[in-house]
Amino acid sequence: MSPKKTYERPIIKKLESNMPNKFGMRTIYEPVTHVEGHAVKDLIRDHGSPVFVISEKKIRKNYRAAKQAFETRYPKVQFAWSYKTNYLDAVCKIYHQEGSWAEVVSGFEYDKAIRNGVEGSKIIFNGPDKSEADLRKAVTNNSLIHIDHLDELYLLQDIAKNSKQRPKVAIRVNLDTGIFPMWDRFGFNYENGQAWDALNKIMFSGQMDLVGLHTHIGTFMLSAGAYAVAASKLAHLAQSVLAKYNHEIKYIDMGGGFASKNTLKGSFLPGSDISPSIDDFAEAITSALMNSDYRPKTPPLLIIESGRALIDDAAWLLGSVLANKRLSDGRRSTILDIGVNILFTAFWYDHKITPAQAFTSYTEDTALYGPLCMNIDVVRESINMPLLNKGDQVVVHHVGAYNMTQWMQFITLRPKVLLIDEYGKLHVIRNNETLSTLTDLEAVPPHLVHFEL
């Protein structure tokens, strides 16, 4: 016997096809009942709600497509996985199995890469915060140290003086690519001569091996052309070093920052329509390098540190509806068990969110809130959604980048992360936190142990 149909109030609706409405493009309303062959309701029943799900197949597919985009255009390419984008061990190891080096920006990330079995010489150490101990370790391990500022350069010079090994270094260069705002807080500026000055200091010191040039021009870049400008400027620096010192730069590292297919807040068109493809970025970078005047005997290795664009669409966040209510202006609001504490990217993106079960054809402008007792806990300010009832489930798409690193333990505990392998088998790759995850780190002084109320 089929279940009794629920009453739905009649509505009159204008027919429109492929037309944006005042909320942007129309949301495609097909329920997403399965993720990589697993029923959403089973995943939530067995592993709790909310829960992150990552597809190993998708990660490998994206990676191979990106690698191919660069390798078909340029002879020597090396990817380095940006740890801060997603540094769960299982995720990093998929990239390392695919041949990716590690790109880290802190001592903690550096140690995580070593612990994951990455050879020191295949770790790129970026960022403004490298302690003396971090630098000594990186020098001993022959890692690639990308110098961010002069204080670091001087410290490294000092370390080099008393060390048997010569540090392998590059400088991070910031430059004007015509994109606003320009990122100039990291590394040395190209246009005002800081970068050239730093290169001369390194060459004159005679204590370090200048092996590369690095830039990372921004994040979620929507212009492939900006990378062409950046690559030309780095090639020009490399040629200047070659001309003055007869010294060949071994690699040019173009960083990451390629946009994923997510939709930025305030964007009228969805990211899937406007983000350049990996091929666009590859074409811009490789042709700028090859068309430059840099003429070493062997072409420099091209390093790519793409994070977001490789993993964003390889993960989903599954959750459940806690309640519905009307706001004072009559608008519908739905409260989910997914908050901005675990879906940090909700601050920047209008995430695609789909119901995980069949629904009726009536849709309404809805505010989607998280479970936190905090006004800022808004998952979507305004989304055209079918009616969701308490207990219904939803799928948030494209959550692979930055959520599983920037999530914060706030009000609720962090949930499980599951990996579906290439054969469809499910693995828990990070367990859910429990009360003791937190209390184990705490201590109560003896005089505060007892109280009476």
Ligand X SMILES: *Cc1c(COP(=O)(O)O)cnc(C)c1O
Q: Which is nearer to ligand X, 157 or 405 (CB)?
A: 405
Radius of gyration of the chain measured on its C-alpha atoms:
25
Give the binding range for ligand X (CB under 6 A) out of 28-36, 77-85, 316-324, 384-392.
77-85
Binding-residue pattern over the window 390 to 419 for ligand X, x denoting contact by CB under 6 A: -----------x------------------
Q: Would you state the structure tokens that stand for residue 355, as one six-digit string?
A: 């119901």
Residue of 67, 137, 233, 308 interacting with ligand X (CB under 6 A): 308
Side-chain-side CA neighbours of 337 within 13 Å: the count stands at 21
Question: How far is residue 302's CA from residue 109's CA, in Å, rounded to a whole number?
Answer: 23
DSSP character for 293?
S
- 307 contributes a contact to ligand X by CB under 6 A: yes
Give the binding range for ligand X (CB under 6 A) out of 78-86, 328-336, 365-373, 436-444.
78-86
Residue of 55, 62, 78, 85 interacting with ligand X (CB under 6 A): 85
Question: How far is residue 261's CA from residue 269's CA, in Å, rounded to a whole number?
Answer: 11
Where does residue 237 rank: exposed (0-12), middle (13-18), buried (19+ CB within 10 A)?
Answer: buried
Question: How far is residue 289's CA from residue 74's CA, in Å, rounded to a whole number?
Answer: 9
Q: Which is nearer to ligand X, 49 or 223 (CB)?
A: 223
Least spacing, CB of residue 206 vs ligand X, in Å: 27
Q: Would you state the structure tokens that stand for residue 338, as one six-digit string?
A: 């997914």
Q: Would you state the structure tokens that stand for residue 231, as one six-digit string?
A: 């690559």
Q: Which is nearer to ligand X, 129 or 273 (CB)?
A: 129
- 300 contributes a contact to ligand X by CB under 6 A: no
Residue of 216, 250, 380, 414 interacting with ligand X (CB under 6 A): 216
Q: Would you state the structure tokens that stand for residue 46, as one six-digit string?
A: 């067995």
Asked if 206 and 247 touch (Cβ cutoff 8 Å), the reply is no
Q: Which is nearer to ligand X, 257 or 415 (CB)?
A: 257
Q: At what angle do helices 89-97 and 107-115 cross, to 10 degrees?
A: 60
Q: Which is nearer to ligand X, 87 or 316 (CB)?
A: 87
Residue list 311-350, contact with ligand X (CB under 6 A): none
Asked if 127 and 105 touch (Cβ cutoff 8 Å), the reply is yes
Give the binding range for ligand X (CB under 6 A) out of 2-10, 12-20, 299-307, 340-348.
299-307
Asked if 235 and 252 touch (Cβ cutoff 8 Å), the reply is yes
Q: Which is nearer to ligand X, 108 or 362 (CB)?
A: 108
Least spacing, CB of residue 324 vs ligand X, in Å: 36
3-state secondary structure of 103: strand
Residue of 56, 134, 148, 305 interacting with ligand X (CB under 6 A): 305
Length of the chain as a residue count: 453
Binding-residue pattern over the window 351 to 380 for ligand X, x denoting contact by CB under 6 A: ------------------------------
Residue of 189, 207, 219, 292 interacting with ligand X (CB under 6 A): 219
Q: Which is nearer to ligand X, 288 or 401 (CB)?
A: 401
**Number of Cβ atoms within 10 Å of the Cβ of 53:** 23
Q: Which is nearer to ligand X, 260 or 354 (CB)?
A: 260
Q: Which is nearer to ligand X, 126 or 223 (CB)?
A: 126
Least spacing, CB of residue 403 vs ligand X, in Å: 12
Q: What is the total count of residues that contact ligand X (CB under 6 A)?
A: 18
- What ranges make up the beta strands (E) of 100-228? 101-104, 123-125, 144-147, 168-174, 188-189, 209-214
3-state secondary structure of 28: coil
- 215 contributes a contact to ligand X by CB under 6 A: no
Least spacing, CB of residue 189 vs ligand X, in Å: 16
Question: How far is residue 56's CA from residue 262's CA, in Å, rounded to a whole number?
Answer: 19
Distances (CA, A) of 350 to 263, 293, 347, 395, 396: 6, 42, 8, 13, 10
Least spacing, CB of residue 349 vs ligand X, in Å: 13
- What ranges make up the beta strands (E) of 56-114? 77-82, 101-104
Q: Would you state the structure tokens that stand for residue 110, as one six-digit string?
A: 């550096």
Residue of 49, 78, 100, 126 interacting with ligand X (CB under 6 A): 126
Give the binding range for ligand X (CB under 6 A) out of 44-52, 80-88, 270-278, 428-436.
80-88
CA 127, chain centre distance (Å):
16
**Which one, of 112, 164, 173, lies nearest residue 142 by Cα?**
164
Residue list 252-271, contact with ligand X (CB under 6 A): 255-258
Distances (CA, A) of 282 to 66, 225, 286: 8, 10, 6
Q: Which is nearer to ligand X, 185 or 447 (CB)?
A: 185
Q: Which is nearer to ligand X, 348 or 410 (CB)?
A: 348
Least spacing, CB of residue 283 vs ligand X, in Å: 17
Which residues lie near ligand X (CB under 6 A)? 82, 84-85, 103, 105, 126, 216, 219, 255-258, 305-309, 401
